Amino acid sequence: MKLTTRLATATAVLAVGALALTGCTGAGPAAGSDGPIDTSGELSGTIKFQSWSLKNEKFSPYFEDLIAAFEEEHPDVTVEWLDQPGDGYQDKVLSQANSNSLPDVVNLPPDIAYPLVAAGKLVDLAAADSSLEDQYVPGAWEAYTYPGIDGTYGLPWYLGTDLGWWNGAALQQYGADTSALPTTNEELLSLAEQVGEASGGQMPLLSSMPTIDLFASSGIEVMNDDGEFVFNTDEAAAIVDQFASAYQAGALPAEALTGDYGGNADMFKQGKVAYTTAGSGFAGDLQRDAPSIRESVIATPRIGDAPLFVQGVSVSNDSKNKAAALAFAEYLTNTENQVAFAQLALGFVPGTVDGSADVGSLSESVTDPLQKEAMEIVSESMKTARILIPFQWTSAMKTYMDQQLALALKGEVGSKEALDKVVEYANDNLVEY
């Protein structure tokens, strides 16, 4: 599984398999390890570190050197590196937790970590070392906190976000001012309607229906403190109404309502839409797949709050050697090692505050001005980026929302009525732990 795919899906899809862990343990929401863990003394013993599809020609030398350097600093510690395939990772982790064989240090995005946290399988890292919080990107640190559970259960490792990408030539052809591109979702929808009408529907600006992260990025509360979805607001209905108006003006291709297309980035590269969101690596994708479009492309910060895609590492509460495990987790995710990793995983940024801001080091091997500009935007976005999609939001909920909002965009039901049904469905189908 590619890093980009993993980050794009990790925060959005909660597998039903998550139930299996708490079902077997009989646990409800529970904290992990309590209290500080002292890593300053002499460390010894063997620990296991598990990564997610990173043992390959590109990344193996990096990890082998990192582990060797850690072992040199701690000569009585041995690190055994395990790596799991991309597919079925969550099932594998749950199986390990159920059989009490979870590795001491394990790569977990926030959504996969949650059932383990609820079952008390992970160490509370905020309690283990109170100095850690200030070292990591705030939104990423917050991603490993959970409703009704005290503590923080992952060290942010590598992060991603989306930018806005605009087809400058297409926009100018239909009268848009590319020197004053939208900075709010309301402005985006107005421009979409303008370009849709000017092109007679030949150059849509939009390529997807309203999404839950769009509502969140617009400042709408998606889920309340009681764990209930609450985004069926008048403000959200107004956004859906704007989408419906834009759709009638030709600003949204019909296939976007059925999902029968390759996605907004692919449609952008094919010249079928004039705007998309994608990570900073999209500059390279355009160079390879759509060089003529790339000539006039404009990269901007994501409109509204930037989404945050997070990968991190956690420490098993079943570990017999928590001190060495925590020391390795901190070493793996320190700024120096994260910058070196991000230099290999181009398009991602480190999970530490200092690392994510060090654009010069992250882009020192980059010669493409557009790629550099995109990386600078991503680095700046890390200051405020946050998780926009609650981990309780499932793929079934998304499918139901797409169906209801498609009816709303076609004018077959009212926008508020559609949102009411979506929220009712989502709350009726919450996954219980």
Query: Helix axis angle, 110-118 relative to 89-98, nearest 10°?
Result: 20
Report the C-alpha dihedral over residues 95, 100, 104, 109, rounded to 10 degrees. 30
- What is the mean pLDDT for each group of 10 consecutive residues in the chain (433 residues)? 48 39 42 77 96 96 98 98 94 94 97 93 96 96 91 96 96 96 94 94 91 93 92 97 93 83 86 93 94 97 93 96 98 97 91 94 90 93 92 92 96 97 96 70
Average pLDDT, the chain: 90
45-158+310-372 and 163-305+394-429, same CATH topology = yes
Please state the domain extents for the chain.
45-158+310-372, 163-305+394-429
Cβ–Cβ under 8 Å, residues 121 and 317? yes
What pLDDT is recorded for position 3? 56
Residue 412's closest CA among 255, 240, 222? Answer: 240
* CATH placement of domain 45-158+310-372: 3.40.190.10
Beta bridge partners of 313: 107, 155
What pLDDT is recorded for position 433? 61
Q: How is domain 163-305+394-429 classified at the CATH fold level? A: D-Maltodextrin-Binding Protein; domain 2 (3.40.190)
Cβ–Cβ under 8 Å, residues 51 and 107? yes
d(CA 277, CA 11): 17
Report the C-alpha dihedral over residues 412, 253, 208, 245, rounded to 10 degrees. -50
What pLDDT is recorded for position 363? 87
What pLDDT is recorded for position 110? 94
Query: What is each CA distance from 271 to 198, 201, 379, in whole angstroms?
Result: 16, 13, 28
∠ CA 88-94-95, nearest 5°, is: 85
Tens of pLDDT, residue by residue over 43-85, are: 999 999 999 999 999 999 999 999 999 999 999 999 999 999 9
State pTM to two decimals.
0.85
φ, ψ (nearest 5 deg) of residue 57: -60, -35
Distant-in-sequence, close-in-space partners of 72: CB < 8 Å, separation ≥ 6: none
Exposed (0-12), middle (13-18) or buried (19+): which is 242, by Cβ within 10 Å? Answer: buried
Query: What is each CA distance from 418 to 118, 257, 367, in whole angstroms?
Result: 33, 14, 48
Residue type, 273: V
Tens of pLDDT, residue by residue over 153-177, are: 999 999 999 999 999 999 999 999 9
Beta bridge partners of 158: 350
